[in-house]
Amino acid sequence: MSQHIYLDNCATTAVDERVLDAMLPFFTEHYGNPASTNHPFGLSAKEAVDLARGEIANTLHADPAGVLFTSGATEANNLALRGSAQLAPTNRRHVVTVATEHPSVLETCKDLAHQRFDVEILPVDGSGHIDLHRLQEVVTDKTFLVSAMIANHEIGTLHPIQEIGKIARAKGAFFHCDGSQAYGKVPIDFTGTGIDLMSISAHKIHGPKGVGALIQRRENARIAPLSQGGGQEFGFRPGTLNVPGIVGFGKAAALAHEDLPKEAAKLAESRDLLEKVISSNLGDVVFQGDRAPGKRLPHLTSMTLNRVHQEGLMKTVPHLIFSAGAACETHEQKPSPVLLALGLNPHQIFQTVRLAVSRMTTRDEIEIAAEDIVRAVKKIRHWGLDDPAES
């Protein structure tokens, strides 16, 4: 697939070769069960898990004992919301979240509403920001949880996490963040921001799929396990640990944070070049989300290409790999809930694409992709091929 240019790095990333090298011995040599600490194979696996736990905690200024390994951020989101809801006091049955959250948060909140929790979903403005004054009004002494992602998975807008955390803490509510898109792309001080629970995934940072973590502030957060049958992960998630995946996650986390500010600057440079070439050669391009410095992720751009259907563009440039929206939504021909929340109509939504670079994306690939998109858009507009059935 070397002829393809991959620009769908919000959906998943390629595994770094250094990550793969770290994982391989735990498939064939150090294959013990980390719960079997009565022999060297098990001890070796446990030591590797503990090392990865420490590496991830170190990147966040968090307590290693608060790093709970899961199958990914979706499971971590469920564990955070459902687990804390099970222990919510009877006088705190109120949940506050945001209209642009990941489906694993919004669908879980809908389920909590069926369990007689009062769920409040805050709207966003045209850039994807919530109104902090409105948040302050709705969070009360009856609120047990506020859930707001650090960075949006479709438009890249960053929420003011520290301010949201202060509002939640002032009323004694827990604060949960889906950090899967932001982790490894922007600095996150878990201890300093007031987050109680945070979900992350390895495959967003050039680690393996199928492993993630829920980071918890142990002195504050209270969650109940969602399944029974073992004492693994401090009793919160029973079951044999995915040791190779966890080792890979730890290595990917360490690599992502070796020189994060410099890496983020390189990503932003690639993203900005992509945007510049496309916007300077085409009219009717509208970028979604907040584009102000420090207000969005460095590697992602969401653009609405007027008079160009997203499917028509994809068929015209099949060698370019990008997304019409979140990976969890693209199998359904329905308007993106995130873009609907921004105020776009369905016609505009189906003309919007998401492009995301990574540290593996070269400048040549950026230039080729941008030029090919420009050429394809001009062709589609000239021939009126905005309908994917005609393209």
The tens digit of pLDDT for each residue in 179-192 reads 999 999 999 999 88
Task: Taking residues 363-388, report their average pLDDT.
Answer: 88
Q: Are 76 and 70 in contact (CB under 8 A)?
A: yes
**Interval 365-378 mean pLDDT:** 97
Residue 389: pLDDT band (50, 70, 90) is very low
Q: Which residues form the domain of 65?
A: 17-256
pLDDT for 315-325, tens place per residue?
999 999 999 86
Domain end marker among 240, 256, 272? 256
**% of the chain exceeding 90 in pLDDT:** 86
pLDDT at 20: 98
Lowest mean pLDDT among 50-64, 216-230, 323-337: 323-337
Indicate yes or no: pTM above 0.75.
yes
Both 102 and 229 in a single domain? yes
Residues 70 and 188 in one domain: yes
Q: Does 389 map to a domain?
A: no
Please identify, among 236, 256, 276, the residue that sits at the C-terminal boundary of a domain: 256
The pLDDT of residue 353 is above 50: yes
Residues 252 and 283 in one domain: no
Which CATH number does the domain housing residue 368 bear?
3.90.1150.10
Q: Domain containing 43 — which CATH number?
A: 3.40.640.10
Q: In the chain, what is the straight-line distance between the N-terminal and C-terminal CA atoms, in Å? A: 23
Does the active-site annotation cover 328? yes
> Looking at 10, 109, 177, 328, which residue is catalytic?
328
> If you write DSSP's letter for every residue of 267-283 in order, what string do you get?
HHHHHHHHHHHHHHH-S
pLDDT for 385 beyond 60: no
Decide if pLDDT at 56 tops 60: yes
Task: Give the model's pLDDT for residue 221.
Answer: 67
Residue after which a domain boundary falls, among 256, 288, 305: 256
**pLDDT band of 40, cuts 50, 70, 90:** very high
DSSP states along 321-380: E-BSS-TTTTTS-S--HHHHHHT--HHHHTTEEEEE--TT--HHHHHHHHHHHHHHHHHH
224: helix, strand or coil: coil
Q: Looking at residue 59, what is its pLDDT?
A: 97
Domains held by the chain: number: 2
- 21/155 same-domain check: yes
Quickly state the pLDDT bin for 24 (edges 50, 70, 90).
very high
Over residues 293-312, the mean pLDDT reads 95
Q: How many Å apart are CA 180 and CA 212, to the nearest integer?
A: 9
Closest CA to 282 of 211, 201, 370: 370
pLDDT at residue 228, as a whole number: 85
Same structural domain, 208 and 311? no
